[in-house]
Amino acid sequence: MRRPDFNRRVAVTGLGVLSPIGNDIDTVWRNLVEGNSGLDRITRFDPSAYEAQVAGELKDFDPGEYMDFKAARRTDRNVVMGVGAAKQALADSGLEVTPDNRDDIGVIFGSGGGGPQLLMDNKGAWDRKGARSVSPFFIANMLVDTASGQIAIETGIRGPNMCVVTACSTGTHNIGEAAEGIRRGDFFAAVTGATESPLHEMVHIGFTNMRGMGMPRPGEPLQTVSRPFDKTRDGFVLGEGAGAMILEDLEHAKARGAKVYAEVVGYGSAADAWDLIQPVEKGDGVRRAMQMALDRHGVKPHEIDLINPHGTSTPLGDLREAQAIWAVFGDHTPNIAISATKSLTGHLMGAAGAFEGVATVLSVHNQCVPATLNYRDVDPEIELNVIHGRSQPMDIRYALSDNIGLGGHNGAVIFKRYEGD
C-alpha cells in the first residue's frame, strides 16, 4: 500500500482523443491551431424537421480499430470511443501495464449520460418484435460507468476504478480526482478522462425543446453556429468525443524516462445549489471552483496565463462564466488569453472537460493559444481577452480549464508547464 503524501507532483505523460476535429493528437492539435471547424450538418439522423441541424460528429470513426468487432457491436458508441482514447493515451505515454504494476494503476473515467443510442435501439426492437428481442447485454453496456469498466478489461488495469458523473463537468472532475488520487498515494498512475456520444435524435429534441440550441449567423456558413462570448451568441451545438490522459507520479515518470507534457497543479469543485439548468447569479459556483483550484496548491491569480473556458455560447451561461472570471482574477483578467475550443467542436457534454483538458495541456506544451472561432462582436458585459482571428504563440506557464454542468456542478483544473526540478 502506498503511503499518503500530498506533496507528490502529478505529471501528464500521455494523451488520447477522438473528436469532431480529429481522431488523434497530432490531427487535433493541427486543426486547433489552424482553426478548422468540426461542425457540419447532422448525418447521424435526418435533422430536416428541426430548426437546429448542426452538430460536431466524429469522422472516419471505426470501432473495430479499438475493440474486438463483436464486443464493439454490443456496446454503446461512447464506450468504444472511451476505450479508443484511453488506448491512445497509454500508447503515447509508453506506460506498460504488467502483472507487477496493474494493481497500482487506476482508471478514473467518466461519461455524463452513458449510452442513449443503445437504450433507444433496444426500445425500438421491443416495440417492433417484443420482449425477447431486447439484448441481454444492453444494460451492462449502456451505463455511465461502462467505459471505465471496459477500459480496465481491455488493458488489464486492476487498481481503483470509478466514474465521476457531473454532467458537462464530468471530464474535469475525473481528471481532478485522478490527480488527487495520485497525491494521496492511491495509485502511481491513472487513465483518466471522459467520453460522450449524445447525438441521438431524442437527445437533440430534448435540448431543442429546452431552447438551448444555437443557430448559424443568418446567411453565413453552418460552422458559425458556436460563438462563445460573442455578442450574437444564441445557444450551443451538440458534439461527441472522448479525451484521455495518463497522469503519473512525477518521480515515477522521471525514473522510467517518460516525456512530460505538463503538471497538474490545482483542482477545485463547487456546487451552485441553485437550479438544474440555469447558472447561479454571477457564476458564483464556478467562481468558487476556480478559486479552490488556485488555493489548493498555492497558485496566484496573476500567474494564470490562459483559460480554456466552458464557453458554450449560451447567452446567460457565457455571461455568468465571464463574471466569475472577473471576480477571481480582477485586474489581471484582461491579461489572460481565452481560448474557447467549443467554437470548433461543439459541446461534447460529459467529455467536454476531458477534450478541453487535453487541448489546454497541448497549449501549455506547445506554448501556443488556439484561436476562438466566430468571435466578431464584442459583448460589453463580458470584455474578456478572447483570442480570435488566428492562433498566437505565447509564453504559458499556468493554464486553467473549467467546466459547468447541468445540476449546478462546477470544476476547474490547473496545468503548469513542466520545468524540471
Residue 310 catalytic? yes
- Quickly tell me which residue has 473556458 as its cell: 309
Distance (Å) of CA 333 to CA 99, 156, 304, 394? 49, 45, 9, 16
Tell me phi and psi for residue 58, to 5 degrees: -70, 145
Cα separation of 382 and 375, whole Å?
Answer: 13
DSSP letter string, 213-238: B--PPTTS-GGGS--TTBTT---B-B
Residue 368 catalytic? no
Q: In 10 A of CB 246, how many CB atoms?
A: 29
Residues 173, 297, 347, 409: which is the catalytic one?
347
Residues 173, 200, 297, 310: which is the catalytic one?
310
The residues, any chain, with a CB within 8 Å of residue 54's CB and separated by 6 or more, are 39, 40, 41, 42, 216, 222, 225, 237, 346
Alpha carbon 342 to its chain centroid, in Å, reads 10
The answer to whether 164 and 108 are in contact (CB under 8 A) is: yes
Residues 163, 168, 204, 409: which is the catalytic one?
168
Nearest to 356 by CA among 307, 396, 317: 307
DSSP state of 378: B
Q: Which SS3 state, helix, strand or coil, does residue 2 take?
A: coil
Residue 168 catalytic? yes
- Quickly tell me which residue has 429534441 as its cell: 205
Distance in Å from the first CA to the final CA of the chain: 26
Q: E strands along 258-357, which residues?
A: 262-271, 304-308, 337-338
Nearest to 157 by CA among 99, 204, 117, 215: 99
Give the residue numbers marked as catalytic: 168, 310, 347
